[in-house]
Structure 1
Amino acid sequence: MPPKRKQTDDAPKQSENKKAKKEDFESDAKSKDGEPWNLKIVSWNVDGVRAWLKKDGMSVLELEDPDILCLQETKCSEKKLPDELKNVKGYKSYFVEAKTEGYSGVALYSKVEPMSVKYGFDEKEHDDEGRCITAEYEKFYLVTSYVPNAGKGLMTLDKRMDWDPKFRKYLKELDEKKPVILCGDLNVSHKEIDLANPKGNKKNAGFTQEERDGFTELLNAGFVDSFRHLYPDKEKQYTFWTYMMNCRARNIGWRLDYFVISERLVPQLCDNLIRTSLYGSDHCPITLLMHM
């Protein structure tokens, strides 16, 4: 995966999202059985929530009106969050932060108060980095996560390889109780179709065989990549573009952000949308529509 760079140069300015219109985010999607969607979840790696806020990132709430909004890589402790991020009208908010200020972090906003909320997944090394929130609802668990990056030169691939089986075990344990919806930046492009330059990235973070195999094992454990289930052959569908080399305008990107669902939720799946018209980060948001 290309190295990240600060939001300068070709990083879109605040006005970009104001071009988007609410009607562009409407959908009449239905499940395979013809049931209309009644649950909308939006997930977005914001690459620093305070910078995202300045770039009109919060407009996603007005445009999408989601039931649940999940943010990853907030890079901000709760005590330093701007008030407008702590108190969002109509939503209950939940935050988990890394012990290191300005690193990692996940947030969840929900119109309906969850039955329970869990921070982390009982693995101290990973939980200290603020990478996971689990919200329990009546009919499902929602897990939002910022999965460790294997790093430049694969310096942290070992950490990633430690994460994958432990996180998979956690998700399987949840799935035994009720269905799971996993969303977030999973830091892997699973297939060659999921990034613009597969041949040149086979030894880079996000597309090593080890990371791709880890994702395959997750799917084999009873889960489904909802986007590829709906659009198995759709090309040039990306959710991340480095700020360098004008990659977003040229659509040289990676699909790193996912909604992964329990297999038994597939009949209730209505759509999975990649919102490339929304700016504010080096990732764009993704939207899941379900009939629950």
Structure 2
Amino acid sequence: MKLISWNVNGIRAAVTHDFMTSFKTLDADIFCIQETKMQEGQLELDLPGYYQYWNYADRKGYSGTAIFTKTKPLSVKYGMDVDIHDHEGRLITLEYPDFYMITNYTPNSQTKLKRLDYRMTWDDAFRQYVDKLAQTKSVIFCGDLNVAHEPIDIKNDKTNHHNAGFTDEEREKFTQLLNSGFTDTFRYFYPDKADIYSWWSYRFHARDNNAGWRIDYFVTSNDLQTKLQGAKIHNEIFGSDHCPVELDIALP
């Protein structure tokens, strides 16, 4: 099974930048996107063979997630039943017979860390949410998690220390999440691979210089490690400030 995750930084803009060509080329069984930046009815995607599930933010042109899947799920859940976290369209959970599939667009702590306190509450709530699901069946979650976990995951770790996405607090929350029974699948296959990133600023020719961050992930509950087959970061694909990331896994 091929799984893809991509922060498209506005799906309507991405469609004008050849999103559909990339979508067809990647040919995922489940394709998750984040930061759709749209409301219901603003775009109709023609995706033959896929079921579509969208979660929209209350605020127009902001946040939002979607999942496109070839296999109809048993159930679909939007948000995590925590009111403070469920108005920005950041989470969709599909339930299948053997696993849960989640797309997640984690809140950014923003400039001067003005939203760091909120981000901490989100991280705690999300960890509790996936921990509870994992008591029932295996869990896969993916998306723009807005954290570069280790110095190897960011080009300029020293100059970015204490910036949003690379604070000690955010990195520690991600460590806590992994320690609760989850696997960063890219690092599972490539524990020492450096200079490979999934997001680059639009400023200072960052992508041309590969001055990036690895902040897009596939994470699985540890019981799925024996089923992991491969992980990729598709930095050859353009159309957003992020690139798609992939997980290949032996699931029905």
Per the TM superposition, whether the score is higher than 0.5 is yes
Superposed, which structure 2 residues align to 1:157-236 within 5 Å?
157-236=116-195
Partner of 2:31: 69
Partner of 1:132: 91
CA distance in 2, matches of 1:63, 1:138: 28
CA distance in 2, matches of 1:78, 1:222: 36
Partner of 2:5: 43
CA shift, 1:196, in A, is 0.1
| CA deviations over 1:213-232 (Å, ceiling 9, x no partner) | 00000001000100011100
Partner of 1:287: 246
CA distance in 2, matches of 1:78, 1:230: 38
CA distance in 1, matches of 2:180, 2:130: 9
Count of aligned positions: 251
Q: Choose which of 271, 274, 282 in structure 1 pairs with 2:230.
A: 271
Query: Please, which runs of 5 or more residues in structure 1 have no aligned partner?
Result: 1-38
CA distance in 1, matches of 2:64, 2:151: 29
Amino acid at match of 2:190: Y
CA distance in 2, matches of 1:125, 1:58: 34
Superposed, which structure 2 residues align to 1:22-37 within 5 Å?
none
Partner of 2:114: 155
| CA deviations over 1:96-154 (Å, ceiling 9, x no partner) | 01000000000100000011000000111211011000001111100100000000110
CA distance in 2, matches of 1:80, 1:64: 25
- Residue 100 (structure 2) pairs with residue 141 (structure 1): yes
Amino acid at match of 2:87: D
Larger strand share, 1 or 2:
2
CA shift, 1:60, in A, is 2.2
Superposed, which structure 2 residues align to 1:255-270 within 5 Å?
255-270=214-229
Amino acid at match of 1:164: D
Higher relative contact order (CA 8 A, sep 6+): 1
Counterpart secondary structure, 1:58? helix
CA distance in 1, matches of 2:23, 2:243: 14
| CA deviations over 1:55-91 (Å, ceiling 9, x no partner) | 001222221111010000000012212x2x2x31110
Query: Please, which runs of 5 or more residues in structure 2 have no aligned partner?
Result: none
Amino acid at match of 2:10: G
| CA deviations over 1:155-209 (Å, ceiling 9, x no partner) | 1001101101110000001000100001000000000000000001111000000
CA shift, 1:237, in A, is 1.1
Counterpart secondary structure, 1:74? coil
Amino acid at match of 1:232: P
Counterpart secondary structure, 1:138? coil
- Residue 19 (structure 2) pairs with residue 80 (structure 1): no
CA distance in 1, matches of 2:233, 2:73: 26
- Residue 86 (structure 2) pairs with residue 109 (structure 1): no
Counterpart secondary structure, 1:170? helix
Counterpart secondary structure, 2:61? coil
Normalised by the length of structure 1, the TM-score is 0.85
CA distance in 1, matches of 2:84, 2:90: 10
CA distance in 2, matches of 1:285, 1:58: 13
Counterpart secondary structure, 1:112? coil
Normalised by the length of structure 2, the TM-score is 0.98
Equivalent pairs: percent with the same residue? Answer: 49
Amino acid at match of 1:65: D
Partner of 2:22: 60
CA distance in 1, matches of 2:88, 2:23: 27
